[in-house]
Amino acid sequence: MASYDYEIAVIGAGPGGYETAIKAAQLGKKTCIVEEKEFGGTCLNVGCIPTKVLIRTANLVSEIRDASKFAVEGVDPAAVSVDMKKLQQRKSGIVKTLTGGVRALLGGNRVAIEKGKAAFVDAHTLSVGDKTITAENIIIATGSKVFMPPFIAIEGDSRVITSDEALGLDSLPKRMAVIGGGVIGVEFAYLFSKLGVEVTVLELMDQILPMVDPEISSLARKSMEQGGVSFKLGAKVKTVKDNCVQFELDGKEEEIAADLVLMAVGRVPNTEGLNAEGIGLAFERKAIQTNERLQTNIPHIYAIGDVNGKVMLAHTASHEGMTALENICGGYAEMDYDKIPSCIYITPEIASIGLTEAKAKEKAGKIKVGRFPFAANGKSLIEGSTEGMAKVILDEETGEILGVHLFGSHVTEMIGEISAAMASELTAEEVIGSIHPHPTVNEAVGEAFMAAWLGKSINNL
């Protein structure tokens, strides 16, 4: 049998790659990780973590301005402001702590670190700079990059940025146009509007967050509109010219002026310089093709995270990594993409898992749907946040949980319960039979399950 430098080589140290490399080493596999840039990938450097640092301050400033609602005196809302330079320093400090932590964890778990850009020489060999590494199994975890659409022309003197640059702004524009009402567009629109920027979102579809249950995304849009964000739905952006965004809406050509334009129409898998085509790896559009076990068409090469184009979320990447490892270690594991929670960090927050109502109907035929408004939940009243609801979708016959969609405060901390319940194939009865502590916002989830399964909840008529 051929001998290799490593049993497992992981390419890319984002949340998918670094967690998988650590786990591989913990399972006793001789493992290396190759990273050309910072540890932590998009998530830690220009994604999940830095956005949430900025959103934390945006939420805090908004709460401080509202202090009088909570009987706190002496706060002049007009005098409260954000020092963007200090906020950038806080963000960089947190990112540095976490990326340093990743490096320490890799080292502490005896994962060999190879700094440089990996490229396939053959199906078991990688070049990293002028070094060559061989591995029995290779896991590609190279992530994604911002998609700059060729169908939107940028002309004249235009300031068009991506989420990467938006995270580094240390001064704010007066007016911002956001192209794309997906998760990135919506989170940034929320953030900058809370910081005082006049924001307009232009979205091609007739709803924002097209992947979210429409009942929830429409509640979220109305809430953001009340907070001052403008939305143009059904707007097909064609050109940005001298900072004017030109778009087609209802067959008419329109434009809006902005000082800064954020392009947020998606991300594309990153396979640049990898020579994946060269060794014969199959692609599905721009993504590396994988089966449910995360294998590519070359069985000992796996692709996890954004690069396989399935679900571009950090926790999906890590879970895919664990699934790939189980397969590498001789077990059998498959991904279930219908049970992945997803969280959107506006206020109130959105958290969902499973199918939308329409998709659930399509799949199961007969379904039961239950809702519980946070306005009827004691803790939400205490928190001063009664907007939104919990929505539960069940299989009518079996009580199987098909989808749970939450729009309310703290809901991103609550969806884990449902993720565990779905992974363990618990039914509605079992969720209802488990104790939701009082007083918590989470009680609303138990009540929504009662509304769906039993036709009535206790604390709502």
* Site residues, ligand NAD (CB under 6 A): 152, 179-185, 187, 202-205, 210, 235-237, 264-267, 312-313, 342-345
Question: Which one is catalytic: 124, 300, 315, 438?
Answer: 438
Cα(299)–Cα(10) distance, integer angstroms:
15
The residue among 325, 322, 330 whose CA lies nearest residue 423 is 322
144 vs 377, beta carbon nearer ligand NAD: 144
SS3 at position 268: strand
Shortest separation between residue 402's beta carbon and ligand NAD, angstroms: 21
80 vs 256, beta carbon nearer ligand NAD: 256
DSSP 203-267: ESSSSSSTTS-HHHHHHHHHHHHHTT-EEEET-EEEEEETTEEEEEETTEEEEEE-SEEEE-S-E
Whether the CB-CB separation of 91 and 50 falls below 8 Å is answered with: yes
Residues sharing a CB contact under 8 Å with residue 461, sequence separation 6 or more, in sequence order: none
Shortest separation between residue 305's beta carbon and ligand NAD, angstroms: 11
115 vs 236, beta carbon nearer ligand NAD: 236
Closest-by-Cβ residue to ligand NAD is 182
Whether the CB-CB separation of 126 and 137 falls below 8 Å is answered with: no
Question: H or E segment at 342?
Answer: strand 342-344
Cα(142)–Cα(154) distance, integer angstroms:
28
187 vs 400, beta carbon nearer ligand NAD: 187
The residue among 290, 390, 289, 295 whose CA lies nearest residue 349 is 390
Shortest separation between residue 253's beta carbon and ligand NAD, angstroms: 14
52 vs 300, beta carbon nearer ligand NAD: 52
204 vs 441, beta carbon nearer ligand NAD: 204
**What residue type is assigned to position 432 of the chain?**
I
In 265-315, at which residue ranges do the beta strands (DSSP E only) sit?
267-269, 283-284, 287-288, 301-303
- Backbone φ and ψ for 278, nearest 5 degrees, come out as -55, -35
Whether the CB-CB separation of 36 and 116 falls below 8 Å is answered with: yes
Shortest separation between residue 45's beta carbon and ligand NAD, angstroms: 13
Locate 204 and state its tokens: 């091609």
Shortest separation between residue 178's beta carbon and ligand NAD, angstroms: 9
**What residue type is assigned to position 82 of the chain?**
V
DSSP 71-132: T--S--GGG----HHHHHHHHHHHHHHHHHHHHHHHHHTT-EEEES-EEEEETTEEEETTEE
DSSP structure class, residue 310: S
279 vs 287, beta carbon nearer ligand NAD: 287
9 vs 166, beta carbon nearer ligand NAD: 166
Shortest separation between residue 417's beta carbon and ligand NAD, angstroms: 18
Query: Does the annotation mark 319 as catalytic?
Result: no
Residue 342: exposed, middle, or buried by beta-carbon count in 10 A (0-12, 13-18, 19+)? buried
Residue 253: exposed, middle, or buried by beta-carbon count in 10 A (0-12, 13-18, 19+)? exposed
CA dist 254 → 159, 244, 305 (Å): 19, 10, 38
Shortest separation between residue 313's beta carbon and ligand NAD, angstroms: 5
173 vs 305, beta carbon nearer ligand NAD: 305
The catalytic site residues sit at 438
